Amino acid sequence: MRFLTSGESHGPKLTAIIEGFPSNMPIDKERMEAELIKRQGGYGRGRRMKIEKDTFTFGAGVRHGKTLGSPIMIELTNDDFKSWTKIMGSEPLTPEEEENMKRVITKPRPGHADLVGGIKYNARDLRNVLERSSARETAARVAVGALCKELLHSLDINMTSRVTQIGEIKDEGEYSYSEIAEGANQSSVRMISDEQTKKTEELIDTAKKNGDTIGGIVEVIIENPPVGLGSYVHYDRKLDSKIAGSVISINAFKGVEFGMGFKLAHTPGSQVQDEILYSSEEGYTRRTNNLGGFEGGMSTGMPIVVRAVMKPIPTLYKPLMSVDINTKEPFKATVERSDACAVPAASIVCEHMVAIEMARAILDKFPHDNFEELKQAVEEYKERTKNF
Protein backbone atom coordinates (compact mmCIF):
# COMPACT_ATOMS: atom_id res chain seq x y z
CA MET A 1 0.00 0.00 0.00
CA ARG A 2 1.32 3.43 -0.87
CA PHE A 3 -0.10 6.92 -0.73
CA LEU A 4 0.63 10.50 -1.65
CA THR A 5 -0.84 13.73 -0.31
CA SER A 6 -0.93 17.14 -1.93
CA GLY A 7 -2.14 20.55 -0.86
CA GLU A 8 -1.02 23.87 0.59
CA SER A 9 -2.37 25.13 3.90
CA HIS A 10 -4.34 28.03 2.38
CA GLY A 11 -4.73 26.56 -1.10
CA PRO A 12 -8.06 25.28 -2.42
CA LYS A 13 -7.79 21.61 -1.43
CA LEU A 14 -5.95 18.77 0.23
CA THR A 15 -5.95 15.45 -1.59
CA ALA A 16 -4.67 11.95 -0.98
CA ILE A 17 -4.38 9.02 -3.37
CA ILE A 18 -4.06 5.60 -1.78
CA GLU A 19 -3.15 2.54 -3.82
CA GLY A 20 -3.07 -1.09 -2.74
CA PHE A 21 -6.24 -1.54 -0.69
CA PRO A 22 -8.24 -4.75 -1.23
CA SER A 23 -11.61 -4.64 -3.01
CA ASN A 24 -14.90 -5.21 -1.11
CA MET A 25 -13.71 -3.64 2.13
CA PRO A 26 -16.62 -1.97 3.94
CA ILE A 27 -16.10 1.69 4.83
CA ASP A 28 -17.90 3.74 7.46
CA LYS A 29 -17.34 7.27 6.15
CA GLU A 30 -18.96 8.89 9.19
CA ARG A 31 -16.54 7.08 11.49
CA MET A 32 -13.65 8.30 9.31
CA GLU A 33 -14.91 11.88 9.45
CA ALA A 34 -15.23 11.66 13.23
CA GLU A 35 -11.45 11.09 13.33
CA LEU A 36 -10.86 14.22 11.27
CA ILE A 37 -13.07 16.24 13.61
CA LYS A 38 -11.05 14.93 16.57
CA ARG A 39 -7.85 16.19 14.92
CA GLN A 40 -9.39 19.64 14.72
CA GLY A 41 -10.17 19.70 18.41
CA GLY A 42 -8.17 19.89 21.61
CA TYR A 43 -7.57 22.86 23.88
CA GLY A 44 -5.01 25.36 22.61
CA ARG A 45 -5.83 25.42 18.91
CA GLY A 46 -5.95 28.76 17.06
CA ARG A 47 -8.79 30.41 15.12
CA ARG A 48 -8.20 28.41 11.93
CA MET A 49 -9.94 25.37 13.35
CA LYS A 50 -13.15 27.39 13.69
CA ILE A 51 -13.03 28.16 9.97
CA GLU A 52 -12.45 24.61 8.69
CA LYS A 53 -14.91 21.75 8.75
CA ASP A 54 -12.90 18.69 7.83
CA THR A 55 -15.36 16.53 5.97
CA PHE A 56 -14.18 14.86 2.76
CA THR A 57 -15.36 13.28 -0.46
CA PHE A 58 -14.21 10.09 -2.12
CA GLY A 59 -13.28 11.09 -5.65
CA ALA A 60 -12.45 7.52 -6.72
CA GLY A 61 -12.04 3.94 -5.60
CA VAL A 62 -15.16 3.55 -3.46
CA ARG A 63 -18.63 2.48 -4.62
CA HIS A 64 -21.72 1.90 -2.47
CA GLY A 65 -19.71 1.99 0.77
CA LYS A 66 -17.07 -0.52 -0.32
CA THR A 67 -13.61 -0.28 -1.86
CA LEU A 68 -13.21 -1.29 -5.52
CA GLY A 69 -9.54 -2.30 -5.31
CA SER A 70 -8.61 0.64 -7.54
CA PRO A 71 -6.73 3.74 -6.25
CA ILE A 72 -8.80 5.63 -3.69
CA MET A 73 -8.92 9.41 -3.91
CA ILE A 74 -9.84 11.54 -0.91
CA GLU A 75 -10.46 15.26 -1.21
CA LEU A 76 -10.79 17.85 1.58
CA THR A 77 -11.68 21.48 0.94
CA ASN A 78 -9.83 24.32 2.69
CA ASP A 79 -12.71 26.66 3.60
CA ASP A 80 -10.11 29.34 4.44
CA PHE A 81 -9.08 29.49 0.75
CA LYS A 82 -11.99 31.91 0.19
CA SER A 83 -9.99 34.55 2.06
CA TRP A 84 -6.74 33.71 0.24
CA THR A 85 -7.78 33.46 -3.42
CA LYS A 86 -5.44 36.26 -4.60
CA ILE A 87 -2.52 35.29 -2.37
CA MET A 88 -2.78 31.55 -3.04
CA GLY A 89 -4.38 31.44 -6.51
CA SER A 90 -2.66 29.54 -9.32
CA GLU A 91 -2.99 32.40 -11.86
CA PRO A 92 0.07 34.65 -12.43
CA LEU A 93 -0.15 38.11 -10.82
CA THR A 94 0.01 41.32 -12.86
CA PRO A 95 3.11 43.47 -12.13
CA GLU A 96 0.89 45.90 -10.11
CA GLU A 97 -0.61 43.07 -8.11
CA GLU A 98 2.86 41.74 -7.43
CA GLU A 99 4.00 45.20 -6.34
CA ASN A 100 1.04 45.54 -4.00
CA MET A 101 1.36 42.08 -2.46
CA LYS A 102 1.40 43.00 1.20
CA ARG A 103 1.98 39.53 2.49
CA VAL A 104 5.41 38.55 1.21
CA ILE A 105 7.21 36.85 4.09
CA THR A 106 10.87 37.66 4.58
CA LYS A 107 11.48 37.13 8.33
CA PRO A 108 11.78 33.37 8.93
CA ARG A 109 10.43 31.90 12.17
CA PRO A 110 13.04 29.99 14.20
CA GLY A 111 11.93 26.37 14.52
CA HIS A 112 9.69 26.37 11.42
CA ALA A 113 10.79 25.29 7.93
CA ASP A 114 10.86 28.90 6.62
CA LEU A 115 14.58 29.70 6.37
CA VAL A 116 16.03 26.34 5.34
CA GLY A 117 13.13 25.71 2.95
CA GLY A 118 13.61 29.19 1.45
CA ILE A 119 17.34 28.61 0.89
CA LYS A 120 16.77 25.14 -0.55
CA TYR A 121 13.91 26.01 -2.95
CA ASN A 122 15.14 29.55 -3.68
CA ALA A 123 11.85 30.97 -2.36
CA ARG A 124 12.27 34.64 -1.58
CA ASP A 125 8.65 34.81 -0.43
CA LEU A 126 8.80 32.33 2.47
CA ARG A 127 5.08 31.74 2.10
CA ASN A 128 6.06 29.33 -0.70
CA VAL A 129 7.65 27.20 2.02
CA LEU A 130 5.31 27.61 4.97
CA GLU A 131 2.21 26.73 2.98
CA ARG A 132 3.33 23.14 2.47
CA SER A 133 5.35 22.74 5.66
CA SER A 134 2.24 23.67 7.68
CA ALA A 135 0.62 20.87 9.63
CA ARG A 136 -2.59 21.51 7.69
CA GLU A 137 -1.32 18.60 5.56
CA THR A 138 -1.81 16.26 8.52
CA ALA A 139 -5.57 16.44 7.84
CA ALA A 140 -4.94 14.49 4.62
CA ARG A 141 -2.76 12.00 6.48
CA VAL A 142 -5.45 11.47 9.12
CA ALA A 143 -7.93 10.77 6.31
CA VAL A 144 -5.55 8.08 4.95
CA GLY A 145 -5.02 6.77 8.49
CA ALA A 146 -8.77 6.66 9.08
CA LEU A 147 -9.10 4.48 5.97
CA CYS A 148 -6.37 2.24 7.40
CA LYS A 149 -8.23 2.13 10.72
CA GLU A 150 -11.29 0.88 8.79
CA LEU A 151 -9.17 -2.02 7.56
CA LEU A 152 -7.79 -2.72 11.04
CA HIS A 153 -11.26 -2.47 12.57
CA SER A 154 -12.62 -5.03 10.09
CA LEU A 155 -9.83 -7.39 11.21
CA ASP A 156 -10.69 -6.82 14.89
CA ILE A 157 -7.52 -4.80 15.59
CA ASN A 158 -8.35 -1.68 17.60
CA MET A 159 -6.36 1.37 18.48
CA THR A 160 -6.58 4.55 20.50
CA SER A 161 -4.38 7.43 21.64
CA ARG A 162 -4.07 10.02 24.36
CA VAL A 163 -1.85 12.78 25.70
CA THR A 164 0.35 11.76 28.64
CA GLN A 165 2.13 15.08 29.18
CA ILE A 166 1.71 18.76 28.33
CA GLY A 167 4.45 21.04 29.59
CA GLU A 168 5.25 19.89 33.13
CA ILE A 169 1.86 18.23 33.69
CA LYS A 170 1.99 14.43 33.40
CA ASP A 171 -0.64 11.73 33.55
CA GLU A 172 1.13 8.68 34.93
CA GLY A 173 -2.03 6.77 35.94
CA GLU A 174 -2.50 3.08 35.07
CA TYR A 175 -5.55 2.71 32.83
CA SER A 176 -7.20 -0.06 30.85
CA TYR A 177 -7.49 0.25 27.08
CA SER A 178 -11.18 1.19 27.27
CA GLU A 179 -10.60 3.77 30.02
CA ILE A 180 -8.04 5.44 27.76
CA ALA A 181 -10.26 5.23 24.68
CA GLU A 182 -13.20 6.82 26.52
CA GLY A 183 -11.35 9.12 28.93
CA ALA A 184 -9.09 10.74 26.34
CA ASN A 185 -11.99 11.40 24.02
CA GLN A 186 -13.98 13.16 26.71
CA SER A 187 -11.19 15.48 27.82
CA SER A 188 -10.38 18.74 26.04
CA VAL A 189 -6.66 17.93 26.32
CA ARG A 190 -7.05 14.18 25.67
CA MET A 191 -5.68 13.40 29.14
CA ILE A 192 -7.61 11.27 31.56
CA SER A 193 -8.39 12.97 34.88
CA ASP A 194 -10.63 16.04 35.25
CA GLU A 195 -8.14 17.63 37.61
CA GLN A 196 -5.33 17.34 35.09
CA THR A 197 -7.52 18.65 32.30
CA LYS A 198 -8.25 21.80 34.28
CA LYS A 199 -4.62 22.35 35.26
CA THR A 200 -3.49 21.76 31.67
CA GLU A 201 -6.02 24.22 30.25
CA GLU A 202 -4.70 26.84 32.69
CA LEU A 203 -1.13 26.11 31.63
CA ILE A 204 -2.05 26.56 27.96
CA ASP A 205 -3.95 29.79 28.77
CA THR A 206 -0.88 31.17 30.56
CA ALA A 207 1.44 30.26 27.69
CA LYS A 208 -0.95 31.92 25.25
CA LYS A 209 -1.19 35.06 27.38
CA ASN A 210 2.62 35.23 27.43
CA GLY A 211 2.82 34.83 23.64
CA ASP A 212 4.48 31.45 24.21
CA THR A 213 3.77 27.83 23.20
CA ILE A 214 4.01 24.35 24.82
CA GLY A 215 4.81 20.81 23.69
CA GLY A 216 4.13 17.43 25.22
CA ILE A 217 4.01 13.66 24.90
CA VAL A 218 1.38 11.47 23.22
CA GLU A 219 0.75 7.74 23.42
CA VAL A 220 -0.76 5.30 20.90
CA ILE A 221 -1.97 1.82 21.88
CA ILE A 222 -2.95 -1.00 19.51
CA GLU A 223 -4.93 -3.90 20.90
CA ASN A 224 -4.92 -7.38 19.43
CA PRO A 225 -2.23 -7.06 16.74
CA PRO A 226 -1.28 -10.33 15.01
CA VAL A 227 2.10 -11.76 16.05
CA GLY A 228 4.95 -11.56 13.51
CA LEU A 229 4.26 -8.34 11.57
CA GLY A 230 7.56 -6.89 10.34
CA SER A 231 10.76 -8.93 10.25
CA TYR A 232 14.17 -9.28 11.89
CA VAL A 233 15.82 -10.54 8.67
CA HIS A 234 16.67 -7.14 7.22
CA TYR A 235 17.00 -3.66 8.77
CA ASP A 236 14.44 -2.07 6.48
CA ARG A 237 11.75 -4.63 7.29
CA LYS A 238 11.59 -3.94 11.04
CA LEU A 239 8.10 -2.69 11.87
CA ASP A 240 9.10 -0.76 15.01
CA SER A 241 11.57 1.22 12.91
CA LYS A 242 8.95 1.95 10.24
CA ILE A 243 6.53 3.17 12.91
CA ALA A 244 9.27 5.33 14.45
CA GLY A 245 10.03 6.88 11.04
CA SER A 246 6.38 7.59 10.36
CA VAL A 247 5.86 9.18 13.76
CA ILE A 248 8.90 11.42 13.36
CA SER A 249 7.53 12.51 9.97
CA ILE A 250 4.75 14.36 11.82
CA ASN A 251 5.41 18.10 12.03
CA ALA A 252 7.17 19.02 15.30
CA PHE A 253 7.70 15.41 16.50
CA LYS A 254 11.22 14.95 17.84
CA GLY A 255 11.41 11.63 19.70
CA VAL A 256 9.73 8.24 19.89
CA GLU A 257 9.80 5.30 22.31
CA PHE A 258 8.18 1.87 22.68
CA GLY A 259 6.95 0.35 25.95
CA MET A 260 9.20 1.43 28.83
CA GLY A 261 11.13 3.51 26.30
CA PHE A 262 13.91 5.67 27.73
CA LYS A 263 13.41 4.13 31.20
CA LEU A 264 15.06 1.01 29.72
CA ALA A 265 18.41 2.74 30.15
CA HIS A 266 18.31 2.44 33.96
CA THR A 267 16.27 -0.74 34.45
CA PRO A 268 18.05 -4.12 34.84
CA GLY A 269 17.30 -6.82 32.24
CA SER A 270 15.53 -9.01 34.79
CA GLN A 271 12.90 -6.26 35.15
CA VAL A 272 12.66 -5.53 31.44
CA GLN A 273 12.32 -8.71 29.34
CA ASP A 274 8.71 -9.90 29.16
CA GLU A 275 8.37 -13.48 30.45
CA ILE A 276 6.65 -15.89 28.08
CA LEU A 277 3.36 -17.65 28.99
CA TYR A 278 1.20 -20.14 27.09
CA SER A 279 -2.47 -21.14 27.27
CA SER A 280 -4.46 -23.10 24.69
CA GLU A 281 -7.15 -20.37 24.55
CA GLU A 282 -4.79 -17.42 24.06
CA GLY A 283 -1.65 -19.02 22.63
CA TYR A 284 1.61 -17.26 23.58
CA THR A 285 1.34 -14.16 25.77
CA ARG A 286 3.67 -12.25 28.10
CA ARG A 287 3.53 -11.61 31.83
CA THR A 288 4.40 -7.94 31.23
CA ASN A 289 4.64 -5.66 28.19
CA ASN A 290 7.73 -3.59 28.95
CA LEU A 291 8.95 -3.80 25.36
CA GLY A 292 5.72 -2.32 24.02
CA GLY A 293 4.82 -5.20 21.72
CA PHE A 294 8.05 -5.62 19.71
CA GLU A 295 10.92 -8.11 19.67
CA GLY A 296 13.33 -8.28 16.73
CA GLY A 297 11.35 -5.65 14.81
CA MET A 298 8.31 -7.96 14.85
CA SER A 299 5.00 -7.59 16.69
CA THR A 300 4.85 -10.03 19.63
CA GLY A 301 1.04 -10.08 19.69
CA MET A 302 0.99 -8.02 22.91
CA PRO A 303 -0.49 -4.50 22.70
CA ILE A 304 1.75 -2.12 20.77
CA VAL A 305 2.56 0.96 22.89
CA VAL A 306 4.23 3.92 21.18
CA ARG A 307 4.97 7.27 22.81
CA ALA A 308 6.29 10.38 21.09
CA VAL A 309 7.32 13.90 21.99
CA MET A 310 6.14 17.05 20.22
CA LYS A 311 8.22 20.20 20.55
CA PRO A 312 6.50 23.52 21.35
CA ILE A 313 4.91 25.26 18.34
CA PRO A 314 7.52 27.48 16.58
CA THR A 315 5.30 30.49 15.81
CA LEU A 316 5.41 32.78 18.84
CA TYR A 317 3.07 35.74 19.30
CA LYS A 318 6.02 37.26 21.20
CA PRO A 319 8.47 36.45 18.41
CA LEU A 320 12.12 35.56 18.83
CA MET A 321 14.84 37.31 16.86
CA SER A 322 15.43 36.44 13.23
CA VAL A 323 16.98 38.09 10.15
CA ASP A 324 15.18 39.73 7.24
CA ILE A 325 16.32 37.77 4.18
CA ASN A 326 16.18 40.92 2.01
CA THR A 327 18.06 43.42 4.21
CA LYS A 328 20.02 40.82 6.28
CA GLU A 329 19.21 43.04 9.29
CA PRO A 330 18.11 41.53 12.62
CA PHE A 331 14.33 41.56 12.98
CA LYS A 332 11.65 39.90 15.05
CA ALA A 333 10.31 36.78 13.27
CA THR A 334 7.04 36.87 11.34
CA VAL A 335 3.89 36.13 13.31
CA GLU A 336 1.35 33.98 11.48
CA ARG A 337 -1.99 33.01 13.05
CA SER A 338 -1.08 30.01 15.16
CA ASP A 339 -1.89 27.39 17.77
CA ALA A 340 -0.52 27.78 21.33
CA CYS A 341 -0.56 24.02 21.90
CA ALA A 342 -1.46 21.33 19.37
CA VAL A 343 -0.45 18.26 21.38
CA PRO A 344 -4.05 16.93 21.69
CA ALA A 345 -4.55 17.26 17.92
CA ALA A 346 -1.13 15.74 17.31
CA SER A 347 -2.08 12.65 19.34
CA ILE A 348 -4.71 11.96 16.68
CA VAL A 349 -2.19 12.48 13.89
CA CYS A 350 0.23 10.12 15.65
CA GLU A 351 -2.46 7.45 16.04
CA HIS A 352 -3.21 7.65 12.33
CA MET A 353 0.43 7.49 11.22
CA VAL A 354 0.80 4.34 13.31
CA ALA A 355 -2.43 2.98 11.75
CA ILE A 356 -0.93 3.53 8.29
CA GLU A 357 2.18 1.49 9.16
CA MET A 358 0.09 -1.27 10.75
CA ALA A 359 -2.21 -1.53 7.75
CA ARG A 360 0.80 -1.53 5.43
CA ALA A 361 2.44 -4.34 7.43
CA ILE A 362 -0.73 -6.42 7.21
CA LEU A 363 -1.12 -5.82 3.50
CA ASP A 364 2.56 -6.68 2.99
CA LYS A 365 2.14 -9.99 4.78
CA PHE A 366 -1.22 -11.33 3.61
CA PRO A 367 -2.85 -11.80 0.17
CA HIS A 368 -5.30 -8.96 -0.33
CA ASP A 369 -6.75 -8.66 -3.83
CA ASN A 370 -10.14 -8.74 -2.11
CA PHE A 371 -11.17 -8.25 1.49
CA GLU A 372 -12.64 -11.76 1.92
CA GLU A 373 -9.29 -13.30 0.95
CA LEU A 374 -7.42 -11.03 3.37
CA LYS A 375 -9.76 -11.72 6.28
CA GLN A 376 -9.59 -15.47 5.79
CA ALA A 377 -5.79 -15.41 5.56
CA VAL A 378 -5.49 -13.36 8.78
CA GLU A 379 -7.87 -15.68 10.65
CA GLU A 380 -6.05 -18.83 9.50
CA TYR A 381 -2.71 -17.30 10.43
CA LYS A 382 -3.96 -16.36 13.91
CA GLU A 383 -5.15 -19.92 14.48
CA ARG A 384 -1.83 -21.36 13.28
CA THR A 385 0.30 -19.04 15.42
CA LYS A 386 -1.80 -19.86 18.50
CA ASN A 387 -0.96 -23.54 18.11
CA PHE A 388 2.72 -23.10 17.22
Ligand X SMILES: Cc1cc2nc3c(=O)[nH]c(=O)nc-3n(C[C@H](O)[C@H](O)[C@H](O)COP(=O)(O)O)c2cc1C
Ligand Y SMILES: C=C(O[C@@H]1CC(C(=O)O)=C[C@@H](OP(=O)(O)O)[C@H]1O)C(=O)O
Tell me the binding residues for FMN. 132-134, 251-252, 296, 311-315, 337
d(CA 206, CA 337): 18
# residues contacting ligand X (CB under 6 A): 20
The partner in contact with residue 139, picked from ligand X, ligand Y, none with C-beta cut-offs of 5 to 8 angstroms by kind, is ligand Y
Q: Where are the beta strands (DSSP E) in 230-299?
A: 253-258, 276-279, 283-286, 294-295, 298-299
The partner in contact with residue 113, picked from ligand Y, ligand X, none with C-beta cut-offs of 5 to 8 angstroms by kind, is ligand X
Q: Please, are residues 368 and 25 in contact by the beta-carbon 8 Å criterion?
A: no
Footprint of ligand X on residues 42-101 (CB under 6 A)? 46
Closest residue to ligand Y, Cβ-based?
Answer: 48
Say which DSSP state 237 is in. Answer: G
The partner in contact with residue 9, picked from ligand X, ligand Y, none with C-beta cut-offs of 5 to 8 angstroms by kind, is ligand Y
Positions touching ligand Y (CB under 6 A) are 9, 46, 48, 52, 134-136, 139, 251, 336-339
Output b/e per residue, 137-164; b: 16+ Cβ within 10 A: bbbbbbbbbbbbbbbbebbebbbbbbbb
Q: Which stretch binds ligand X (CB under 6 A): 23-31, 214-222, 338-346, 375-383?
A: 338-346
* Binding flag, residue 251, ligand X (CB under 6 A): yes
d(CA 318, CA 335): 8
Q: Please, are residues 332 and 321 in contact by the beta-carbon 8 Å criterion?
A: yes
d(CA 149, CA 247): 16
The residue (of 313 and 355) whose beta carbon lies closer to ligand Y is 313
Q: Please, are residues 201 and 189 in contact by the beta-carbon 8 Å criterion?
A: yes
| Numbered residues of the known binding site for NADP(+) | 39, 45
Minimum distance of ligand X from residue 313's CB (angstroms): 4
The partner in contact with residue 23, picked from ligand Y, ligand X, none with C-beta cut-offs of 5 to 8 angstroms by kind, is none
* Binding flag, residue 314, ligand X (CB under 6 A): yes
Q: Which stretch binds ligand X (CB under 6 A): 118-126, 234-242, 272-280, 311-319?
A: 311-319
Minimum distance of ligand Y from residue 161's CB (angstroms): 16
The partner in contact with residue 346, picked from ligand Y, ligand X, none with C-beta cut-offs of 5 to 8 angstroms by kind, is ligand X
Minimum distance of ligand Y from residue 117's CB (angstroms): 12
Tell me how long the chain is. Answer: 388
Minimum distance of ligand Y from residue 98's CB (angstroms): 22
* Binding flag, residue 252, ligand X (CB under 6 A): yes
d(CA 83, CA 89): 11
| Numbered residues of the known binding site | 39, 45, 132-134, 251-252, 296, 311-315, 337
The residue (of 132 and 365) whose beta carbon lies closer to ligand Y is 132
Q: Please, are residues 56 and 143 in contact by the beta-carbon 8 Å criterion?
A: yes
- CA–CA distance from 176 to each of 159, 160, 169, 304, 308 (Å)? 12, 11, 21, 14, 20
Minimum distance of ligand Y from residue 306's CB (angstroms): 21
d(CA 25, CA 68): 8
Minimum distance of ligand Y from residue 155's CB (angstroms): 29
Q: Please tell me the chain's helix, strand, coil percentages from 3-state DSSP, rounded to the nearest 5.
A: 40, 20, 40
d(CA 143, CA 31): 11
Interacting residue ranges for ligand X, rule: CB under 6 A: 46, 112-113, 133-135, 138, 250-252, 311, 313-315, 338-339, 342, 345-346, 349
